[in-house]
Structure 1
């Protein structure tokens, strides 16, 4: 089925350098999807030489001539991309220990290219010398990380079910923007849209110094289905113990289901607005605070990274819109536009999506 997701305004007129993984090529499905989804962006995707030193030289030359606005590297390509300092970069499941990984995952000896190569080759052979070259090049990762690189330039994405590489801790010891996502090792369509594109969005906004209207969204009864949450609890003794205050049950907020269309709406709004989650957990339940973080990470994913605000004085948050189902905790004093969720004309998330579509990002 042909993908219909497109962002023609995102990275418009810019260049993305895509650095593929081991045994892949510049003709991978990911490259095709990037070009389809970003029709006004130039995606440069070279076939990397097998030899790691040659691949690194090629990438440095491309960066010198193309001056890409963004570099995306996956797996082995993430290891290479980390060393391309001075550029905005997204590293997806970076294989910082590629030399060791090849040996443990049967990457030595005769191998097949997984995607078509420009030279027509279908097979290649990994010798011990090639493995040593991978190891030597990878040893130079993190050598030139300065404060700008650490805080701003580089994002790392790590699949929580990745069976191949596990380098989050290595990344996090040098960079602050390491994010877990719901996925495995390969960069499939879902991961690209729901995990990579939110970061591309942030990078493009920063590069353009683009200011978007600020939107806050409440959690309980708005994003998360609070009412049905306590109805799902079958432990009668627990319900009796916390009678009249189910919100004090440890773990309660982490186990709520999303409201219908809430996740879809959050992703849409995050593309067009500077969107944050603004919630007021009960002081009487110490786990509620961490439960809400767990819920946001599980259901809203990468797009919610560092966008959870906990406050019992919502009026202190400056912004343009607040979506809430109650006018308490300062919501009634919010200085922007207050949208009462659950009441006409905003009874559902579909109603709210229609409203903001008509606003067109204003």
Structure 2
């Protein structure tokens, strides 16, 4: 008779990658408001307006939530900047340094990835918090390498001002054998809806 033993990981800290737009930053209302004014900027879409990403507001509770999560996770930013808007790449870095600083005390100091292919960054025992499935975000749901995509705000309780931070901390502090086991264990009581099928998501009219 063979004996199957599940080997638990060590006490290494889990990695949490956080999207910016509509997950950390309140982007969509501003872009929607400017969607009728693109002609005056000589662009086709509002996310191509120079400087539009620089002075956006953080989502309520996001800054405080990140600072708390930094005590439990190895944090990274994983975001997409519009290809047709060169200023957006610099604006996103400047936004992060404004709210989190620009030295080793910042949870995101030299830990920012801007890419149109987020699936290239996925790694074992790592979690992506992202509001949309696009640019490879949904590919983080990969059982083979034990990475996971948690959709920000799909469950109305999983936002910064509600139960998101305690839920993530419970995942960080679990050691059930795999990341997926940790998520299932943390979600046993509340049964949050963690994400929806990518085919159900609807883009904005200007996208």
Q: Give the TM interval when normalised to the shorter protein.
A: 0.5 to 0.7
Which protein has greater RCO, CA pairs closer than 8 Å, 6+ apart? 2
Q: Structure 1 unaligned runs (5+)? A: 1-209
Partner-residue secondary structure (3-state), 1:354:
helix
Partner-residue secondary structure (3-state), 2:78:
strand
Normalising by structure 1, what TM-score? 0.39
Contact 2:38–2:44 (Cα < 8 Å) also in 1: no
Corresponding residue for 2:189?
none
Could you tell me which of 314, 333, 342 is aligned with 2:153? 342
Rate the CA distance shift 1:248–1:269 in 2: closer, same or farther, 3 A: same
Rate the CA distance shift 1:242–1:325 in 2: closer, same or farther, 3 A: farther
Q: Deviations over 1:128-175 (max 9, x none)?
A: xxxxxxxxxxxxxxxxxxxxxxxxxxxxxxxxxxxxxxxxxxxxxxxx
Residue 325, structure 1, aligned to residue 131, structure 2 = yes
Per residue, is there more strand in 1 or in 2?
A: 1
Report the count of equivalent residues.
152
Alpha-carbon deviation of 1:322? 0.5
Per residue, is there more helix in 1 or in 2?
A: 1
Could you tell me which of 280, 294, 299 is aligned with 2:94? 294
Q: Deviations over 1:69-121 (max 9, x none)?
A: xxxxxxxxxxxxxxxxxxxxxxxxxxxxxxxxxxxxxxxxxxxxxxxxxxxxx
Could you tell me which of 105, 110, 117 is aligned with 1:313? 117
Partner-residue secondary structure (3-state), 2:71:
helix
Q: Structure 2 unaligned runs (5+)? A: 1-10, 175-207
Rate the CA distance shift 1:360–1:285 in 2: closer, same or farther, 3 A: closer
Corresponding residue for 2:83?
283
Could you tell me which of 31, 54, 68 is aligned with 1:230? 31
Q: Larger C-alpha radius of gyration, 1 or 2?
A: 1
Residue 217, structure 1, aligned to residue 18, structure 2 = yes
Rate the CA distance shift 1:351–1:240 in 2: closer, same or farther, 3 A: farther
Q: CA RMSD in A?
A: 2.5
Normalising by structure 2, what TM-score? 0.65
